[in-house]
Amino acid sequence: MTALLEVRDVRLSFGGLQALDGPSLDVADGEVVGLIGPNGAGKTSLFNCIGGLYRPQSGSIKVAGREVTGLPRHRIASLGVGRTFQNIGLLPSRTVLENVLAGGYHSTTGGWWATTLGLRRIGRSETELSARAIALLAELELSDVAGRMVGTLPFGTLKRIELARALLGEPRLLLVDEPANGLVHSEVLELGTTLRRLAAERGAAILLVEHHMGLVTSVCDRVAVLDFGRLIAQGDPHEVARDPQVVAAYLGSAA
Protein backbone atom coordinates (compact mmCIF):
# COMPACT_ATOMS: atom_id res chain seq x y z
CA MET A 1 0.00 0.00 0.00
CA THR A 2 1.30 3.43 -0.85
CA ALA A 3 1.36 6.00 1.89
CA LEU A 4 -1.22 8.78 2.03
CA LEU A 5 1.55 11.35 2.37
CA GLU A 6 4.97 10.75 0.83
CA VAL A 7 7.65 13.34 1.42
CA ARG A 8 10.92 12.69 -0.43
CA ASP A 9 14.18 14.66 -0.14
CA VAL A 10 12.50 18.03 0.17
CA ARG A 11 14.90 20.96 0.02
CA LEU A 12 13.85 24.49 0.75
CA SER A 13 16.05 27.48 1.39
CA PHE A 14 15.43 31.15 1.99
CA GLY A 15 18.49 32.97 0.71
CA GLY A 16 21.36 31.33 2.56
CA LEU A 17 19.18 29.67 5.16
CA GLN A 18 18.52 25.98 4.53
CA ALA A 19 15.08 25.51 6.09
CA LEU A 20 14.60 21.95 4.86
CA ASP A 21 17.60 19.81 4.04
CA GLY A 22 16.14 16.75 2.36
CA PRO A 23 13.86 15.11 4.92
CA SER A 24 11.74 12.13 3.78
CA LEU A 25 8.65 11.05 5.63
CA ASP A 26 5.59 8.85 5.11
CA VAL A 27 2.21 9.05 6.75
CA ALA A 28 -0.20 6.14 6.21
CA ASP A 29 -3.97 6.43 6.00
CA GLY A 30 -5.42 7.01 9.46
CA GLU A 31 -2.01 7.26 11.13
CA VAL A 32 -1.17 9.94 13.69
CA VAL A 33 2.40 11.14 13.29
CA GLY A 34 4.09 13.71 15.49
CA LEU A 35 6.59 16.09 13.96
CA ILE A 36 8.87 17.48 16.63
CA GLY A 37 12.13 19.36 16.87
CA PRO A 38 13.60 22.50 18.37
CA ASN A 39 12.45 25.95 17.27
CA GLY A 40 13.56 26.70 13.74
CA ALA A 41 14.02 23.03 12.88
CA GLY A 42 11.78 23.37 9.83
CA LYS A 43 8.53 21.83 11.11
CA THR A 44 6.26 24.64 9.99
CA SER A 45 8.28 24.99 6.77
CA LEU A 46 7.52 21.37 5.96
CA PHE A 47 3.82 22.01 6.69
CA ASN A 48 3.87 24.98 4.38
CA CYS A 49 5.46 22.89 1.63
CA ILE A 50 2.78 20.23 1.96
CA GLY A 51 0.03 22.86 1.94
CA GLY A 52 1.55 24.67 -1.03
CA LEU A 53 2.38 27.90 0.82
CA TYR A 54 6.05 27.35 0.03
CA ARG A 55 7.42 25.67 -3.05
CA PRO A 56 10.48 23.54 -2.32
CA GLN A 57 13.50 23.92 -4.64
CA SER A 58 13.72 20.16 -5.04
CA GLY A 59 12.20 16.94 -3.85
CA SER A 60 8.72 15.55 -4.08
CA ILE A 61 5.60 15.60 -1.94
CA LYS A 62 2.73 13.30 -2.84
CA VAL A 63 -0.71 13.17 -1.32
CA ALA A 64 -2.63 9.99 -2.19
CA GLY A 65 -0.12 9.39 -4.98
CA ARG A 66 -0.58 12.87 -6.46
CA GLU A 67 2.36 15.28 -6.65
CA VAL A 68 1.41 18.49 -4.85
CA THR A 69 4.52 20.64 -5.24
CA GLY A 70 3.65 23.36 -7.73
CA LEU A 71 -0.08 22.63 -7.50
CA PRO A 72 -2.28 25.68 -6.78
CA ARG A 73 -3.06 25.86 -3.06
CA HIS A 74 -6.81 25.52 -3.41
CA ARG A 75 -6.33 22.29 -5.39
CA ILE A 76 -4.29 20.83 -2.54
CA ALA A 77 -7.18 21.46 -0.19
CA SER A 78 -9.52 19.61 -2.51
CA LEU A 79 -7.17 16.59 -2.43
CA GLY A 80 -8.19 16.33 1.21
CA VAL A 81 -5.45 18.24 3.00
CA GLY A 82 -6.75 20.32 5.90
CA ARG A 83 -4.66 22.36 8.28
CA THR A 84 -4.53 24.65 11.26
CA PHE A 85 -2.10 27.53 11.56
CA GLN A 86 0.53 28.18 14.20
CA ASN A 87 -0.61 31.78 14.62
CA ILE A 88 -4.30 31.28 13.93
CA GLY A 89 -5.89 31.77 10.55
CA LEU A 90 -9.44 32.64 11.56
CA LEU A 91 -11.66 35.42 10.21
CA PRO A 92 -11.95 37.95 13.06
CA SER A 93 -15.07 39.64 11.70
CA ARG A 94 -17.12 36.45 11.74
CA THR A 95 -18.73 34.39 14.46
CA VAL A 96 -17.23 31.14 15.66
CA LEU A 97 -19.92 29.13 13.85
CA GLU A 98 -19.37 30.99 10.58
CA ASN A 99 -15.63 30.39 10.83
CA VAL A 100 -16.18 26.69 11.30
CA LEU A 101 -18.69 26.58 8.42
CA ALA A 102 -16.04 28.11 6.15
CA GLY A 103 -14.17 24.82 6.55
CA GLY A 104 -16.90 23.07 4.60
CA TYR A 105 -16.12 24.97 1.39
CA HIS A 106 -14.40 22.31 -0.66
CA SER A 107 -16.44 19.39 0.66
CA THR A 108 -19.71 21.03 -0.41
CA THR A 109 -20.92 22.21 -3.81
CA GLY A 110 -22.97 25.19 -4.88
CA GLY A 111 -21.76 27.36 -7.73
CA TRP A 112 -22.74 30.90 -8.59
CA TRP A 113 -25.75 30.04 -10.72
CA ALA A 114 -27.13 27.42 -8.39
CA THR A 115 -26.75 29.82 -5.46
CA THR A 116 -28.25 32.79 -7.28
CA LEU A 117 -31.24 30.74 -8.38
CA GLY A 118 -31.69 29.43 -4.84
CA LEU A 119 -31.85 25.77 -5.86
CA ARG A 120 -33.25 23.55 -3.18
CA ARG A 121 -30.12 21.42 -2.90
CA ILE A 122 -28.15 24.52 -1.85
CA GLY A 123 -30.43 24.98 1.14
CA ARG A 124 -30.26 21.30 2.00
CA SER A 125 -26.48 21.20 1.81
CA GLU A 126 -26.28 24.32 4.01
CA THR A 127 -28.63 22.84 6.62
CA GLU A 128 -26.69 19.59 6.68
CA LEU A 129 -23.36 21.42 6.96
CA SER A 130 -24.66 23.58 9.84
CA ALA A 131 -25.81 20.49 11.70
CA ARG A 132 -22.39 18.90 11.35
CA ALA A 133 -20.67 22.13 12.40
CA ILE A 134 -22.84 22.45 15.50
CA ALA A 135 -22.12 18.83 16.43
CA LEU A 136 -18.38 19.40 16.01
CA LEU A 137 -18.52 22.53 18.15
CA ALA A 138 -20.20 20.50 20.86
CA GLU A 139 -17.54 17.80 20.71
CA LEU A 140 -14.80 20.38 21.06
CA GLU A 141 -16.71 22.10 23.89
CA LEU A 142 -17.21 25.25 21.89
CA SER A 143 -21.03 25.37 21.93
CA ASP A 144 -21.06 28.25 24.41
CA VAL A 145 -19.08 30.52 22.13
CA ALA A 146 -20.71 29.48 18.82
CA GLY A 147 -22.34 32.87 18.30
CA ARG A 148 -19.42 35.00 19.52
CA MET A 149 -17.20 37.03 17.27
CA VAL A 150 -13.82 35.33 16.98
CA GLY A 151 -11.83 38.49 17.71
CA THR A 152 -12.69 38.50 21.41
CA LEU A 153 -11.76 34.93 22.41
CA PRO A 154 -8.65 33.52 24.13
CA PHE A 155 -5.88 31.82 22.15
CA GLY A 156 -6.53 28.29 23.34
CA THR A 157 -10.15 28.54 22.26
CA LEU A 158 -9.15 29.87 18.86
CA LYS A 159 -6.91 26.86 18.36
CA ARG A 160 -9.85 24.54 18.90
CA ILE A 161 -12.05 26.57 16.56
CA GLU A 162 -9.44 26.16 13.85
CA LEU A 163 -9.39 22.46 14.52
CA ALA A 164 -13.17 22.28 14.19
CA ARG A 165 -12.97 24.19 10.91
CA ALA A 166 -10.33 21.84 9.53
CA LEU A 167 -12.30 18.76 10.60
CA LEU A 168 -15.50 20.01 8.97
CA GLY A 169 -13.73 19.77 5.60
CA GLU A 170 -13.46 15.98 6.13
CA PRO A 171 -9.72 15.94 5.44
CA ARG A 172 -7.87 12.71 4.67
CA LEU A 173 -4.74 14.34 5.97
CA LEU A 174 -4.92 16.90 8.74
CA LEU A 175 -1.92 19.11 9.42
CA VAL A 176 -2.14 20.44 12.96
CA ASP A 177 0.31 23.12 14.06
CA GLU A 178 0.78 23.39 17.84
CA PRO A 179 -2.79 22.77 18.99
CA ALA A 180 -1.79 22.82 22.65
CA ASN A 181 -0.43 26.33 22.53
CA GLY A 182 -2.20 28.50 25.08
CA LEU A 183 -3.77 25.61 26.97
CA VAL A 184 -3.12 24.53 30.54
CA HIS A 185 -1.79 21.03 31.21
CA SER A 186 -5.08 19.26 31.94
CA GLU A 187 -6.70 20.75 28.82
CA VAL A 188 -3.80 19.58 26.66
CA LEU A 189 -4.29 15.89 27.37
CA GLU A 190 -8.03 16.19 26.98
CA LEU A 191 -7.53 17.90 23.63
CA GLY A 192 -5.18 15.09 22.59
CA THR A 193 -7.81 12.46 23.34
CA THR A 194 -10.53 14.37 21.52
CA LEU A 195 -8.31 15.02 18.51
CA ARG A 196 -7.35 11.38 18.25
CA ARG A 197 -10.98 10.23 18.53
CA LEU A 198 -12.34 12.75 16.02
CA ALA A 199 -9.65 11.81 13.52
CA ALA A 200 -10.24 8.08 14.02
CA GLU A 201 -13.99 8.48 13.49
CA ARG A 202 -13.33 10.20 10.19
CA GLY A 203 -10.44 8.00 9.12
CA ALA A 204 -8.23 11.06 8.88
CA ALA A 205 -4.46 10.84 9.20
CA ILE A 206 -2.80 13.53 11.28
CA LEU A 207 0.58 15.14 11.04
CA LEU A 208 1.03 17.03 14.29
CA VAL A 209 3.60 19.69 15.11
CA GLU A 210 3.83 20.04 18.85
CA HIS A 211 6.26 20.99 21.60
CA HIS A 212 4.23 19.47 24.39
CA MET A 213 5.89 16.03 24.68
CA GLY A 214 3.09 14.68 26.88
CA LEU A 215 0.61 15.29 24.09
CA VAL A 216 2.91 13.85 21.45
CA THR A 217 3.64 10.63 23.31
CA SER A 218 0.02 10.07 24.29
CA VAL A 219 -1.53 10.75 20.90
CA CYS A 220 0.97 9.77 18.22
CA ASP A 221 1.54 6.35 16.68
CA ARG A 222 4.92 7.49 15.49
CA VAL A 223 7.19 10.50 15.85
CA ALA A 224 9.59 12.13 13.42
CA VAL A 225 12.26 14.50 14.67
CA LEU A 226 13.58 17.40 12.62
CA ASP A 227 16.73 19.32 13.44
CA PHE A 228 18.22 22.02 11.18
CA GLY A 229 15.91 20.87 8.39
CA ARG A 230 17.07 17.26 8.58
CA LEU A 231 15.21 14.20 9.81
CA ILE A 232 17.37 12.88 12.65
CA ALA A 233 15.13 10.16 14.06
CA GLN A 234 11.75 8.56 13.69
CA GLY A 235 9.81 5.74 15.32
CA ASP A 236 7.95 4.94 18.52
CA PRO A 237 7.40 8.11 20.57
CA HIS A 238 8.88 6.72 23.80
CA GLU A 239 11.99 5.34 22.11
CA VAL A 240 12.58 8.49 20.11
CA ALA A 241 12.40 10.56 23.27
CA ARG A 242 15.40 8.59 24.60
CA ASP A 243 17.43 8.75 21.39
CA PRO A 244 20.72 10.47 22.24
CA GLN A 245 20.70 12.50 19.00
CA VAL A 246 17.25 13.80 19.83
CA VAL A 247 18.20 14.64 23.39
CA ALA A 248 21.26 16.49 22.08
CA ALA A 249 19.16 18.43 19.56
CA TYR A 250 16.81 19.61 22.25
CA LEU A 251 19.29 20.22 25.07
CA GLY A 252 22.40 21.04 23.06
CA SER A 253 25.17 18.46 22.60
CA ALA A 254 27.92 17.95 25.16
CA ALA A 255 30.66 18.30 22.53
The contact set with another protein (CB under 8 A) reads 51-53, 72-74, 77-78, 82-83, 85, 89-95, 97-98, 101-106, 108, 110, 112, 115-116, 118, 122, 125-126, 129, 145-149, 151-152, 165, 169
The closest of 139, 151, 110 to 127, measured between CA atoms, is: 110
Closest contact distance (angstroms) between CB of 39 and another protein is 22
Please count the residues of the chain: 255
What is the closest distance, in whole angstroms, from the C-beta atom of residue 119 to another protein in the complex?
10
Closer residue to another protein, CB minimum distance, 114 or 213: 114
Residue number with CB closer to another protein (15 or 118)? 118
Using the minimum distance from each CB to another protein, give the nearer residue, 90 or 220: 90
Helix, strand, coil percentages, rounded to 5, for the chain: 40, 25, 35
Which residues, 6+ apart, have CB-to-CB distance to 54 below 8 Å? Answer: 12, 45, 48
Question: What's the angle, vertex CA 227, arms to CA 252 and CA 30, rounded to 5?
Answer: 130
- The minimum distance between CB 57 and another protein, in angstroms, equals 21
Nearer to another protein, 175 or 246 (CB): 175
* Cα–Cα distance, 25 to 166 (Å, whole number): 22
| Smallest distance from another protein to CB 126, Å | 5
Cβ 214 to another protein, closest distance in Å? 28
| Beta carbon nearer to another protein, 135 or 200 | 135
Report the candidate in 155, 209, 164, 208 with the shortest Cα–Cα distance to residue 182.
155
Helices 185-202 & 155-168, crossing angle to 10 degrees?
A: 0
Q: Which is nearer to another protein, 125 or 217 (CB)?
A: 125
Q: How far from chain centre, in Å, is Cα 11?
A: 21
* DSSP-assigned states of every residue in 61-102: EEETTEE-TTS-HHHHHHTTEEE--TT----TTSBHHHHHHH
Q: Provide the minimum distance between the beta carbon of 90 and another protein in the complex, in angstroms, as a whole number.
A: 8
Residue 110: beta bridge partners? none
Shortest CB 78 distance to another protein, Å: 5
Query: Of the two residues 102 and 248, which places its CB atom closer to another protein in the complex?
Result: 102
